[in-house]
Amino acid sequence: MSLSTQAYKGARDFYPEDKRLQNYIFSTFRSVAESFGYEEYDAPILENIELYKAKSGEEIVNEQTYTFKDRGDREVVIRPEMTPSVSRLVAGRRQELGYPLRWYSIPVLWRYERPQRGRLREHWQLNVDIFGIENNQAEHELILLADRIMNQFGAQQSMYKFSLNHRGLMDYIFDSYLQLNSEQAHKIAKLIDKMNKISPEDFASALKDCLDQGQLTNQLDKKLLDLLQISQISDLPSEVADSQPAKELQELIDSLTDSGLANVNFNISIMRGFDYYTGIVFEMNDTDPDNPRSIMGGGRYDGLVGLFGVEPIATVGFGWGDVTLKDFLNTHKLLPTVASQTDVYAVLVGDVYNQAQSLIADLRSQGLRIAVDSTDRKIPAKIKTALKKDIKYALFIGPEELEGNQFNLKNLQSQQEEKLSPQSIVSTIQRTA
Amino acid sequence: MSLSTQAYKGARDFYPEDKRLQNYIFSTFRSVAESFGYEEYDAPILENIELYKAKSGEEIVNEQTYTFKDRGDREVVIRPEMTPSVSRLVAGRRQELGYPLRWYSIPVLWRYERPQRGRLREHWQLNVDIFGIENNQAEHELILLADRIMNQFGAQQSMYKFSLNHRGLMDYIFDSYLQLNSEQAHKIAKLIDKMNKISPEDFASALKDCLDQGQLTNQLDKKLLDLLQISQISDLPSEVADSQPAKELQELIDSLTDSGLANVNFNISIMRGFDYYTGIVFEMNDTDPDNPRSIMGGGRYDGLVGLFGVEPIATVGFGWGDVTLKDFLNTHKLLPTVASQTDVYAVLVGDVYNQAQSLIADLRSQGLRIAVDSTDRKIPAKIKTALKKDIKYALFIGPEELEGNQFNLKNLQSQQEEKLSPQSIVSTIQRTA
């Protein structure tokens, strides 16, 4: 029986044209992150399961991880997210590192779930984190950075929007304004996190289930449903709008608006699933309803580094997956055609493989990227291969050409052909690159 | 109890200085592979276990893989090597791809074994493969490419050597010259593969165990031990030296010598562990005995793509791990100090975070990579942070500087400080980059 050529379910093979596109996306991520002074780090794809049990949330650990025992009986996980790993690294050198610390990484992550639009089992995620800033300049910088990335991809601000909320504001609403107990607050937070995935009727009914009978006669459910309709901080009940978290959030929205971001809004239903968030949370979405999943999301998690037995540190970070991004770029026709990384297809004419070596080595040393075709196929077949690989130039090398040190270079797009010296080959190709 | 900050055993954390070095190594791999016309591809880190059961060899599958059942009861493996995956991808588009096909990838691979010098559980490996070339120009090109990589790392040819053998030559020796049966041949091949890891006495004794009594009286073991001492093809017994595989091997060594590689030798003990090799096999080693493990190794495996139910295709490939390479570069003092990716540390003086935004955005848009320090620490503390991060320039931004649009730029290496306009800041830094 033959082996299957299928990739593992929910994962992708990257043929060269796919990989070129992925490299384009990653290099855009990198260049913008580095322009803001972020340094790249990395960590192993396998981690101890304890790392996620602490604060990632039960659904992820119990239902969505790739967890197994290694041959030494250690319970390990293929990382489903990077935040616990980056916290581990920072904690490991808590005293030596210089703050503010700006780090980024583009790890591959795995979650066991049903593959669907915007969500695969394997995906890559740009992670950007800043450590050591207690005020909301940290959030300001990260959202600005995300906006610059979108700009680099050619997106207009009308195509995407940022939605912000504050875990402290929700705590204030649950504890002080609605006076819920902590179990109710936790359940309702999880419910709000799923609000956009269920019908309004189901949401209202599930909300009732979270409350007790007496609270329903006080119309606490209606009070909360009314709150969830509000889209301006100033429209919140005054005692809520005057709370410290509400003020911080308003200040951040104002400073982002000042920095030219017209697409930043308060959204009381943004919770972000992870249990470790402690302050402002945010996400970025496509304004096109075809892509409902968030493209980028993050928030403040001041407590995570401290779980490793060192002094806690103020931290804000975001994760930005490649799958939803590609859906976004595709929807808005922003996916470029990335050119071949090969400049020249060297078509050997006759048995000149050995004699052609020094010419080819010389052209390569001058920076040309050259694939050699020394097969005994006819020239048209070789040209066909070059075209299939999207290579722009063909260079013909036969015994006479080697003798005279002059070679025909053909531009396969314009069909123009010239007889050139090696030096002119290099300058001609580099001029048009 | 606190969480541990340790990475999983046998795997590495890459702090920014480690990641910069890894990026330097990977970009050297990439640029040389692309200069030879190779295109990058990638595949998922999880694969079906059947892929390795076919031809990778029992030791790897049964003892060294990270194998587990996913939540859907599929038996999966974190890939221990890339060759089965690349064969799967080529088979999946066997008819559409253009040949000769040149592909490379730098996958992360996992093997469960005792971590030791030159060998960790997690490592990255440059994989370079060429499909569709039946003659040994394929091997010639790959070994030349490996040599160019070493050259790019600054290595002299005296620091490393290539050792070549041919599976067909060994088959000829086992079948025709020594007339062993296939079981004996298989056992002895595995034994020779381990020859350098055991004592000569243990090797001779294990060799006897592979043969039967009659063969020992014919001195077959001595005959083989004598053969294994030979280091020139021309010194082989004439019927062996005249075999087709011996001639192919000699031809390849000669053509590599013609191409300037003075460090290429026949080595009859090179087997390369994988069962899938069918022709010439090769490896590259440090000439310093401190690093006995091969740095790069590969060979011809013409049968693998055909296992997927498509027409087989001639294939040669190699794998080049990052761990032994780093040991090599370290031993020969070739590891560079890679500069920070941040150009400027912007030291904000006073509460000017919002006012400084447009200047900083402007400098970034002109290509500068700027980390902003808006903490309320004193200037010397901020400079200390910049030095810790190896950032070359500090730029001081206060209310008066913003007012006059002139800023002090300090070269932290030379201690020189100049008052400059934004445009001059960009040109000064880019001139010295």
Going by C-beta distance under 8 Å and a sequence separation of 6 or more, which residues neighbour residue B398?
B348, B349, B350, B352
**Do B422 and B375 fall into the same domain?**
yes
* Distance between CA atoms of residues B297 and B303, nearest Å: 18
Residue that has been written with the tokens 């490896």 in this structure: B283
Q: Residue A98: which of B102, B137, B389 has the nearest Cβ?
A: B389
pLDDT, tens digit, 9 for 90 and up, residues B181-195:
999 999 999 999 888
| pLDDT above 80 for B56 | no
Residue that is written with structure tokens 């990384």 in the block: A341
pLDDT at A433: 72
Q: Judge contact between A108 and A306, C-beta under 8 A.
A: no
Mutate to test the interface with B, among A2, A8, A322 (most CBs of B within 10 A): A8
Is pLDDT at A89 greater than 80 in this prediction?
yes
Question: What one-character DSSP code corresponds to residue A213?
Answer: H
The CA-based dihedral angle spanning residues B165, B168, B173, B177, taken in that order and rounded to the nearest 10 degrees: -150
Q: Identify whether A2 is part of a domain.
A: no
| Cα A64 from chain centre | 19
Is B342 in contact with B369 (CB distance < 8 Å)?
yes
Q: How confident is the model at residue A291 (pLDDT cuts 50, 70, 90)?
A: confident
Residue-averaged pLDDT of chain B: 94
Asked if the model's pLDDT at residue B117 lies above 90, the reply is no
Asked whether the predicted pLDDT for residue B433 surpasses 90, the reply is no
Residue A28: CA count within 13 A, CB half-sphere: 22
Residue A214: its pLDDT value, please? 83
If we measure between CA atoms, which residue out of B67, B63, B72 comes closest to residue B51?
Answer: B67
Q: How confident is the model at residue B273 (pLDDT cuts 50, 70, 90)?
A: confident
* CATH code, A400: 3.40.50.800
Task: List the CATH number of the domain containing B76.
Answer: 3.30.930.10
Mean pLDDT score, B383-392: 95
A364 contacts in chain B (CB < 8 Å): 35-36, 148
- Rounded to whole angstroms, the Cα distance separating A358 from A360 reads 5
Mean pLDDT of B340-346: 96
Q: What is the DSSP letter of A82?
A: S
Task: Assess whether A111 and A136 both reside in one domain.
Answer: yes
Among A308, A331, A354, give the residue marking a domain's end.
A331
Same domain, B393 and B315: no
Quick: pLDDT tens for A202-245. 999 999 999 988 888 888 999 999 999 999 999 999 999 999 99
Domains: count for chain B: 2
Check CB contact under 8 Å for B8 and A47: yes
Q: Do A98 and B133 touch (CB under 8 A)?
A: no
pLDDT tens for residues A131-159? 999 999 999 999 999 999 999 999 999 99
Q: Give the gap in angstroms from C-alpha B356 to the nearest C-alpha of chain A.
A: 10
Predicted pLDDT of residue B54: 76
From the CA of B48, how many Å to the nearest CA of chain A? Answer: 7
- Same domain for B113 and B261? yes
Segment B15-23 mean pLDDT: 96
Q: How confident is the model at residue A46 (pLDDT cuts 50, 70, 90)?
A: very high
Q: Are residues A265 and A351 in the same domain?
A: no
Rg (CA), chain A: 28
Mean pLDDT in residue range B389-405 = 97
| Domain annotation covers residue B240 | no
DSSP 3-state helix, strand, coil percentages of chain B (rounded to 5)? Answer: 45, 20, 35
Q: Does residue B100 have a cis peptide bond before it, meaning omega lies within 30 degrees of 0? A: yes
The reply to whether A195 and A283 lie within a common domain is yes
Tell me whether residue B189 is in a domain: no
Same domain, A372 and A240: no
- Residue A192 counted as domain residue: yes
Query: Which of A41, A44, A385 is nearest residue B122 as measured by Cβ atoms?
Result: A44
Cβ-Cβ contacts under 8 Å, A369 against chain B: 34-37
Looking at the structure, tell me whether residues A110 and A60 fall in a common domain: yes
Residues B348 and B351: their CA atoms lie apart, in Å, by 8
Asked whether residue A417 carries a pLDDT value surpassing 80, the answer given is: yes
CB within 8 Å: A34 and B342 = yes
Distance CA B350, CA A162 (A): 29
Sign of CA dihedral A242, A244, A246, A251: positive
Task: Tell me if B44 and A103 make a contact (CB, 8 A cut-off).
Answer: no
Give the structural domain span for A351. Answer: 344-431
Cα B96 to Cα B209: distance, rounded to the nearest angstrom: 49
pLDDT tens readout for residues A373-389: 999 999 999 999 999 99
Residue A224 in 3-state DSSP? helix
Q: Which residue in chain B is spatially nearest to A98 when comparing CA positions?
A: B385
- Per-residue pLDDT averaged across B24-38, rounded? 98
Q: What share of chain A is helix, strand, coil (3-state, %, to 5)?
A: 45, 20, 35
Least confident range from A192-206, B30-44, B295-309: namely: A192-206
> Do residue B46 and residue A15 have CB atoms under 8 angstroms apart?
no
**Least-confidence region, from A371-385, A390-404, B207-221:** B207-221
The percent of residues above 90 in pLDDT, for chain B, comes to 88
Instruction: Kindly state the tokens that stand for B309.
Output: 């139910």
Q: Are A351 and B137 in contact (CB under 8 A)?
A: no
Residue of A46, A105, A128 best to disrupt the B interface, most CBs of B under 10 A = A46
Query: Average of pLDDT values for B31-39?
Result: 98
Minimum distance, in Å, between the CA of residue B65 and any CA atom of chain A: 9
Among A274-278, B60-64, B291-295, B417-421, which is the least confidently predicted range? B60-64
d(CA A1, nearest CA chain B) in Å? 8
Of B16, B19, B102, the CB nearest to A371: B102
Contact between chains at A368 and B35 (C-beta distance less than 8 A): yes
Asked if B16 lies within 8 A of A103 by C-beta distance, the reply is yes
Residue among B346, B271, B8 nearest A89 (CA): B8
Report the share of chain B in percent with pLDDT over 70: 100
Furthest-apart CA atoms within chain B: distance in Å: 98
Q: How far is B216 from chain A (nearest CA, A)?
A: 40
Comparison of pLDDT for A61 and B334, the residue scoring more? B334
Chain A residues inside the 8 Å CB shell of B72: 9, 112
Mean pLDDT, to the nearest integer, of A257-264?
95
Residue A55 pLDDT? 74
Of A69, A108, A137, the CB nearest to B374: A137
- Indicate the residue of A39, A70, A88 with minimum beta-carbon distance to B112: A70
Confidence of residue B352 (pLDDT cuts 50, 70, 90): very high
What pLDDT band is residue B252 in, cutting at 50, 70 and 90? very high
**Domain boundary residue among B296, B331, B366?**
B331
Q: Cα(A149)–Cα(A140) distance, rounded to whole angstroms?
A: 14
Tell me what percent of the residues of chain A surpass a pLDDT of 70: 99
**Residue A366 tokens, joined:** 């001058």
Domain boundary among B282, B298, B331: B331
Q: Which element (helix H / strand E) includes A151?
A: helix A137-152
Contact A44 B3 (CB under 8 A): no
* Residue B150 to chain A, least CA–CA distance (Å): 14
The mean pLDDT of A117-134, rounded to a whole number, is: 95
Integer angstrom CA distances of residue A28 from A33, A151, A157, B364:
9, 10, 18, 14
Q: Let me know whether A369 and A287 are in one domain.
A: no
Q: Does residue A210 sit in the same domain as residue A310?
A: yes
Determine which helix (DSSP H) or strand (DSSP E) holds B139, and give its type and residue range.
Answer: helix B137-152
CA separation (Å) from B169 to B236, B266, B267?
11, 11, 11
Same domain, A52 and A135: yes
> Which of B93, B341, B367 lies nearest to residue A39, judging by beta carbons?
B341
ipTM of this predicted complex?
A: 0.95
Return d(Cα A324, Cα A294) in angstroms, integer. Answer: 7
> Is position B205 within any domain?
no
Inter-chain residue contact B44 with A258, CB threshold 8 Å: no
**Could you tell me if A80 and A181 lie in one domain?**
yes
Q: How far is CA A150 from CA A144, A159, A332, in A?
A: 10, 10, 12
The stretch B102-114 carries a mean pLDDT of: 96
In a domain, A339, yes or no: no
A303: in domain: yes
**Contact A357/B76, CB-based, under 8 Å?**
no
Mean predicted confidence (pLDDT) in B114-134: 94
pLDDT at B215 exceeding the cut of 90: no
Residue A4 falls inside a structural domain: no
For all residues of chain A together, what is the average pLDDT? Answer: 94
